[in-house]
Amino acid sequence: MPIAALPTTTVSAIGSCQVLTDSCSLVKELVDNALDAHATSIAIEISSNVLDVIQVKDNGTGIPPNDFEMVCRRNCTSKIATMDDLRKLGGKSLGFRGQALASAAEMSGGLRLTTKTGKEVVAKAIEFGRSGDILR
């Protein structure tokens, strides 16, 4: 399923207005996303001041190019579309709020995401601004 905005009713029901509050919660969310993307290897790099670099690298499935526009937008996820999808998901995912990357971009003033799916030969690096817009 492609990444899409959740309906307002679903956002309210699952508490999607929650934001990341510190670097630890950001790392947790990024690791959860990696595991949900079937990663079997995850490497975490954090600078000594915990401000300059927080990087999570994994070998998960990657993000397809047609989802780049939505990946850093609030309440956008590829895992569910409605509350009914929660029943189907039933413990098969570590998260689905669509907040981690949006919150990371907002907290840091922007971020760089590098991703590649199995269908692509070369990874793509995308820079996002504070509001989740693609800068380049």
CATH number, domain containing residue 15: 3.30.565.10
Torsion of CA 100, 101, 106, 111, to 10 degrees: 140
Classified as helix, coil or strand, 128 is strand
Residue 98 lies in a domain: yes
Residue 136 lies in a domain: no
Q: How far is CA 85 from the centre of its chain?
A: 19
**What's the predicted TM-score (pTM) here?**
0.79
Parent domain of 104: 4-129
Residue 95 lies in a domain: yes
Number of domains in the chain: 1
Q: What are the percentages of helix, strand and coil residues in the chain, rounded to 5?
A: 30, 20, 50
Q: What is the pLDDT of residues 16-64, one digit of tens each?
A: 445 677 888 889 989 988 998 999 999 999 999 988 899 999 999 999 9
pLDDT computed for residue 75 by the predictor: 80
Residue 67 lies in a domain: yes
Residues 6+ apart with CB under 8 A from 133: 72
Residue 28 lies in a domain: yes
Angle of helix 23-36 relative to helix 100-108, nearest 10 degrees, comes to 150
Looking from the CA of 119 toward its CB, the CA atoms found within 13 Å total 4
At residue 5, what are phi and psi to the nearest 5 degrees?
Answer: -70, 140
Residue 134 lies in a domain: no
pLDDT computed for residue 15 by the predictor: 56
